Amino acid sequence: MASSTAPTVLGIGLAATGAAHFVAPDAFAGITSAAFPKDVRTWTYRNGATELAVGTAIAIPQTRKLGFVALAGYVGFLGYRAYTAR
């Protein structure tokens, strides 16, 4: 049981961060604009939705593996965007 606690907490934290993109989008504008300099607000909402979905998938044991695959893809995408936006 203890081994599933950390991924659940991680997933809930990521999902909560994703939800926060909708509650307080201005708080994410600075970091979002680094990788997505155009349409910052739209990308803030897209990233929030992605983090909400991926976090939820990680928090649920039945979808956890898929959630971690999605997280790896999302981190790669963000890294690519940050690199190409320089």
Report residue 1's pLDDT band, with 50, 70 and 90 as the boundaries: very low
Nearest to 21 by CA among 32, 11, 10: 32
Nearest to 11 by CA among 64, 78, 72: 64
pLDDT in tens, 20-78: 999 999 999 999 999 999 999 999 999 999 999 999 999 999 999 999 999 999 999 99
Provide the residue range defining the domain that includes 64.
2-84
Residue 60 to residue 4: CA distance in whole angstroms:
10
Domains contained in the chain, number: 1
pLDDT of residue 79: 96
pTM above 0.85, yes or no: yes
Q: CA quadruple 73, 54, 5, 60: dihedral positive or negative? A: negative
Nearest to 50 by CA among 79, 80, 19: 19
